[in-house]
Structure 1
Amino acid sequence: MTRRSTSRSTASTIASPLYAMPPNLTRPLRVVLVTPGHIPVWLSRFLQLAADTSWLAVSILPVSGASLPKAAPPAPDVRMFLAFDRARRRGANAMLRPVPLRARDCLTLATPVAGDAATAELKERVRELQPSLVLSLGPRSWSQALADCASLGCWDIDAGLVDADWAGVSLLRPLVEGSTSTEFAVELDGAPLAPWGQARTIGATRHGSFGAQRDTVFRRLPLLLMRMMHRLAADEFVPPNRTALLRQATARPLPVGASAVAFASTMSTAVQWQFQKGRKVVPWHLVLCGSKQSIDPSAPRVVPDAIVQSREANYWADPCAVETDGRQLIFVEEMWPDHKGVIACVELIDGTAKRLGIALEESAHVSYPQVFESDGQWYMTVESSQLRRVSLYRATDFPLGWERVCDLVTGRVCADPTLHFQDGHWYLFATVSEDGNGTWDELFVFVSKSLTGPYRPHPANPVVSDVRRARPGGRLFRRDGKLIRPAQDCAANYGSALVFNEVLSLSPTHYEERPLSRLSPDWAAKLVACHTYSASETLEVIDARGYPDPGTPSLEPIEPPAALRISGNPVAEAMAGSASAVPVPVAPVSRAPSATPGRDSPQQ
């Protein structure tokens, strides 16, 4: 068997489910959408998601002559800024653009709605569909008339979610306040009762354009609505009112002078982007630490022992530390000038870093190796989002020979998949691009009784909806009796910091965590990011983007030249074995047993 993977290069197309089937559901949740002939793009995307869902059945009842509701316009200065932003970013406003209903999705209504007779006809048509819930996209009188047509009543979609001109104007606030993250939530207002049924997410703020900021947020709106429907189907909440207003939550009014501040913010971001786009890409490198001071997840601080940088590749990142038979190994993503990532293995030997070769190369980019042992056998998962799958690999000739065993998740763009074993179950953590959105915000968990699957979606999915701590940043580990999940803060930029989260509850039915601390790359003046942490018995390693302090010891790696990058090449291996290196003493870390990562997992 060769040392590169023999798996097929075609992307997987059958999509693994992201949400558990609602329990005790005897038939799909039936929803009728009463709407004008045009709907915003985000609602069209919701209908597409619903069409691919077995637990939800949506029928569309268009009303001739009706139009989308309009929101109240903001202050004149804000309207001027929005007009300027639209002229500057003509491609924005994509999610609120009205699009016609497709005929094959519709149950047509023969006569226009006009007066009481039309309302009676509308009620009759809705009752014929026997809905559990009615969604109304029209005047408030519709929801009042249709509330008795469904067992769960009627939700009226607020104009602030559909008006192409003024919807989501409050999303200017993060730009005005300079916040790196934007919270967006929808809720049901059943006044006079308090709002209920909320779904929320926190994403990165788009400071360069309000149009891009609004599109990014509204791209998540169909996902939030789907999650509310899932909770409704699972009987997680019961509507207290026959009618409710589906609206944006926490939509605070803008402060005085918001338009001027927003203008300054967008122009400043545009200038910075123009300045940075021509600059050289800042590289990633590995930071070895722990012998002087171990990283405390409750109050992390990095005191580097040494750094390791590749001489031939663009960079090494995503480290995974492994120790076996007295060997210190670090599996890394190795990025090459053609922008294709492979998995390489580096061994620390007597103060040197020897690149052993490529452990895995696929037809597309791979990164984020997670290597572990289970029942005496070495396994590995990697990120292969371009192939739309998460695969399990087994070592045939450790550490460089691997074969693909099976696919754990298929048809999904998953970032940084991380396996963890606890109490007889395997848990697969990954952030997922659910509907073309990014892979920074939403953390999903999949559960299996067997390492090779099948993996089913966790009932609490997504378990984290926060760009500041969702994306995995290394394998889970135990420290001082706590189960810690490293994660990335991607709010300011990709992998800008590490966040250590304490897992409070982990079972096939429940998940809960809380953030413990945030590790910024401030141990060196010219670092801008750090996003992966890994520890073995005697070694701690993180990656960092930027330039280390000049006084930091550096391990010059022993590695073959770039032209002979393919592992298994005897000439390259001979050159690697004979290359010179500058040894830098790195003392082993003395670590207490409680600090061993994944202590209760069979891979340790």
Structure 2
Amino acid sequence: MGSDRAATGPLRVGVVLESISPARWIEHALQLIADGAVADLTTAIIVAPRMATPAADWANALYRLFVVADRRVFRRQPDPLAVVDISRPLNGVAIISIGGEGGLPATARIALEEAGLDVMLCFGSGEAGRNLAGLVRFGVWYFPDIVSDAGTGRPLWFDATVAGRDVVTTSLNELTAAGTAGRMVYSAVSAVNRYSPHYTDRRLRWKMATFPARALEKLARTGADAHDNHGSDTGIRETSIPRNVRMLRIMARLGARQVAHAVRSALYRAEWSVAFRAEPDLAIATLTRPNGPGTYTFIDNPPDRFWADPFPVQDGERHWLFVEEFPHAADRAHLSVMPLHQDGTVGVSTPVLTRPYHLSYPFVFRWRDDWYMVPETLENRTVDLYRSTRFPYDWTHAGTLLEDVAAVDATLIERDGRWWMFTTIAPFGGSENDELHIYLADTPLGPWRPHPRNPQTSDARGSRPAGRIFSLDGAWYRPAQDCSRRYGYAMTIHRIVTLTEDRYVEEVAGRIEPTWARGLLGTHTFNHVDGMTLVDGERWRPRFRPPVKR
């Protein structure tokens, strides 16, 4: 249906469910709406399930056995498909029960007309939802991926996992009267797990649970549910259940990947290393041209640990390099600093910040003649600020900027008299790599308030910060990680086009692939200071190295 009329007051929202006890991810989606300030859940249509149960098809027996085994082997909590009680988000909501034949009884139609709904959310089959379009102001919204796999038990994007795809696009669409996908009202691009369809399914469902509340916020803000542009369609997928012969090939393919990964992990460990390049004049051309072997020179780290997340700083005539330092014998990293020389050599590293949880990404900056640091403290579910009392070695806690958030790689910038924080935050049950959030404050001490259009992007290919935001030729650039193939696979350099209190726009200006050294698995940090560029790269390193001869 759709409409460009502005919405006045809280949006009135209905929901079509196939059970009063749905999957947990659906309950979470409805609770996000109920907890928000822009919409009220007023009506629920419960569609009675069809009683016919298909007979067991032994031609698909291997597939069904595999799905059960995959869920057990890659079991993760929370489970989005766990059946839950939905009474809390539906408290005070009018319930309309109809049969499962797809028709809409006259009494139900009258009740819906009187409800004056703005949006109807349809979970599961779209048969009932498509008959409601003319009764809802802004149309019926549904998940095409859920409908495609309804009743098959297929994990979402099963074939994307089997094919080894990097990413998929999931979306919330308007349902047409013909029962097909209409305009996209919200979408996101997510990474695919190459080993487990269940793991991919779990991450996708928890992320999709956020779509309705976000689309409703956008509708309330703009007065129109315009086409969403978070991602682009990644292709039509197959929805049939694999028969036994094909399933044998699929199991062999996934099994070979898992065995190869297990053997490699037993013999090698993936380690990060820091690399250097002398670059007196940073230019956009160096960020857009291909980087072949030899572009950067590795800085040797001690053999019993690795370094990652290089943040170089200049203090007067001296230069210092802050890094994440991860001893092999430890279960978490701390932050260290070392002298950095113009030729790329470094002095001895000294630990400067250790906590009973993992630390990384030592974002160091100067403000009002004091040095500050914002490390990543994901395991503590905070974003913390530290101030140096004796630079660069001694640091004291100066405040907590964000609390109870799964935020990573917070990156601050002062621009136009205001401070901005860029970070990615994991939605409940989802990935911390995909969703870029911006916060604003008058000073780096806070208080910080969220940008009204968060998340700015929901795309694994270029959301998570990868280093300081820098100015070049009058423009601002934001390094970001491409986590599509794996965490920290590559980096994209985004030009910031618009940054205001109510709008953010960026565009890709360059890209750094993991090709600047042989055997790289990934590269995920870029920083530049005083003619020196520092990056990092991940490589396989033997677990069992021969002892060093003395």
The one of 347, 354, 365 equivalent to 2:339 is 347
> Contact conserved, 2:438 with 2:450, CA < 8 A, in 1?
yes
2:545 match: none
Mean CA deviation greater in 31-40 or 169-178? 169-178
Aligned pair count?
Answer: 515
Report the secondary structure of 1:355's partner residue.
coil
TM-score by length of 2: 0.81
Structure 2 CA distance for aligned equivalents of residues 204 and 148 of structure 1: 36
Closer/same/farther in 2, CA of residues 211 and 71 from structure 1, 3 Å limit: farther
Shift in Å at residue 229 of structure 1?
A: 1.6
1:40 match: 23
- 1:160 matched to 2:150? The reply is no
Closer/same/farther in 2, CA of residues 292 and 238 from structure 1, 3 Å limit: closer
- 1:320-367 CA-to-partner distances (Å, cap 9, x unmatched) read 110121101111111132222221111125865223622222332211
> Contact conserved, 1:371 with 1:380, CA < 8 A, in 2?
yes
1:90 match: 71
Closer/same/farther in 2, CA of residues 236 and 428 from structure 1, 3 Å limit: farther
Shift in Å at residue 293 of structure 1?
A: 9.3
- 1:460 matched to 2:453? The reply is yes
Closer/same/farther in 2, CA of residues 407 and 67 from structure 1, 3 Å limit: same
1:288 match: 276
Report the secondary structure of 2:199's partner residue.
helix
1:328 match: 319
Report matched runs for 1:372-391 at 5 Å.
372-391=365-384
Structure 2 CA distance for aligned equivalents of residues 363 and 467 of structure 1: 29
Unaligned runs of 5+ in 2: 1-5, 542-550
Structure 2 CA distance for aligned equivalents of residues 378 and 371 of structure 1: 7
- 1:100-123 CA-to-partner distances (Å, cap 9, x unmatched) read 434774458799646999945545
1:593 match: none
> Contact conserved, 2:7 with 2:219, CA < 8 A, in 1?
no
Shift in Å at residue 381 of structure 1?
A: 0.9
Report the secondary structure of 2:340's partner residue.
strand
- 1:203 matched to 2:195? The reply is no
Structure 1 CA distance for aligned equivalents of residues 32 and 109 of structure 2: 26
Structure 2 CA distance for aligned equivalents of residues 495 and 179 of structure 1: 17
Structure 2 CA distance for aligned equivalents of residues 141 and 291 of structure 1: 61
2:121 match: 135
CA RMSD of aligned residues (A): 4.0
- 1:56 matched to 2:39? The reply is yes
Amino acid at match of 1:391: D
- 1:408-449 CA-to-partner distances (Å, cap 9, x unmatched) read 222101111101122222111111111121111111111223
1:67 match: 49
- 1:514 matched to 2:507? The reply is yes
1:174 match: 160
Mean CA deviation greater in 330-339 or 189-198? 189-198
- 1:368 matched to 2:346? The reply is no
Unaligned runs of 5+ in 1: 1-23, 241-247, 549-604
1:298 match: 288
Highest RCO, 1 vs 2 (Cα 8 Å, sep ≥ 6): 1
1:308 match: 299
Mean CA deviation greater in 32-41 or 131-140? 131-140
Closer/same/farther in 2, CA of residues 269 and 109 from structure 1, 3 Å limit: same
Closer/same/farther in 2, CA of residues 170 and 403 from structure 1, 3 Å limit: closer
Structure 2 CA distance for aligned equivalents of residues 165 and 457 of structure 1: 40
2:544 match: none
> Contact conserved, 1:135 with 1:155, CA < 8 A, in 2?
yes
> Contact conserved, 2:321 with 2:337, CA < 8 A, in 1?
yes
Report the secondary structure of 1:527's partner residue.
coil
Report matched runs for 1:392-407 at 5 Å.
392-407=385-400
> Contact conserved, 2:413 with 2:419, CA < 8 A, in 1?
yes
Structure 2 CA distance for aligned equivalents of residues 140 and 213 of structure 1: 23
Closer/same/farther in 2, CA of residues 487 and 495 from structure 1, 3 Å limit: same
Structure 2 CA distance for aligned equivalents of residues 349 and 253 of structure 1: 53
Report matched runs for 1:210-249 at 5 Å.
210-238=197-225
Structure 2 CA distance for aligned equivalents of residues 299 and 420 of structure 1: 26
1:581 match: none
> Contact conserved, 1:288 with 1:306, CA < 8 A, in 2?
yes
Shift in Å at residue 401 of structure 1?
A: 2.0
Closer/same/farther in 2, CA of residues 82 and 230 from structure 1, 3 Å limit: farther
Amino acid at match of 2:273: H
Report the secondary structure of 2:363's partner residue.
strand
Report the secondary structure of 2:466's partner residue.
coil
Structure 2 CA distance for aligned equivalents of residues 547 and 456 of structure 1: 41
Report the secondary structure of 1:329's partner residue.
strand
Mean CA deviation greater in 413-422 or 337-346? 337-346
Structure 1 CA distance for aligned equivalents of residues 282 and 149 of structure 2: 53
Structure 1 CA distance for aligned equivalents of residues 217 and 502 of structure 2: 15
Structure 2 CA distance for aligned equivalents of residues 261 and 160 of structure 1: 25
Structure 2 CA distance for aligned equivalents of residues 250 and 538 of structure 1: 40
Mean CA deviation greater in 349-358 or 248-257? 248-257
- 1:550-598 CA-to-partner distances (Å, cap 9, x unmatched) read xxxxxxxxxxxxxxxxxxxxxxxxxxxxxxxxxxxxxxxxxxxxxxxxx
Closer/same/farther in 2, CA of residues 381 and 116 from structure 1, 3 Å limit: closer
Report the secondary structure of 2:467's partner residue.
coil
Shift in Å at residue 390 of structure 1?
A: 1.0
Shift in Å at residue 534 of structure 1?
A: 0.8
- 1:500-523 CA-to-partner distances (Å, cap 9, x unmatched) read 222222222222222233322323
Report matched runs for 1:24-35 at 5 Å.
27-35=9-17
Shift in Å at residue 149 of structure 1?
A: 6.2
1:101 match: 86
Amino acid at match of 2:519: K
Report the secondary structure of 1:452's partner residue.
coil
Report the secondary structure of 2:479's partner residue.
strand
> Contact conserved, 1:381 with 1:417, CA < 8 A, in 2?
yes
- 1:202-236 CA-to-partner distances (Å, cap 9, x unmatched) read 12112213233222222211112222121122234
TM-score by length of 1: 0.74
1:245 match: none
Structure 1 CA distance for aligned equivalents of residues 80 and 411 of structure 2: 32
% identical aligned pairs: 24
The one of 539, 547, 550 equivalent to 1:546 is 539
> Contact conserved, 1:496 with 1:531, CA < 8 A, in 2?
yes
> Contact conserved, 1:331 with 1:346, CA < 8 A, in 2?
yes
> Contact conserved, 2:125 with 2:147, CA < 8 A, in 1?
no
- 1:88-142 CA-to-partner distances (Å, cap 9, x unmatched) read 3133795345544347744587996469999455456657766543334587675
Structure 2 CA distance for aligned equivalents of residues 67 and 547 of structure 1: 52
> Contact conserved, 2:491 with 2:524, CA < 8 A, in 1?
yes
Closer/same/farther in 2, CA of residues 171 and 349 from structure 1, 3 Å limit: closer
Report the secondary structure of 1:406's partner residue.
strand
2:267 match: 279
Structure 2 CA distance for aligned equivalents of residues 501 and 365 of structure 1: 28
- 1:188 matched to 2:188? The reply is no
Report the secondary structure of 2:266's partner residue.
coil
Closer/same/farther in 2, CA of residues 439 and 494 from structure 1, 3 Å limit: same
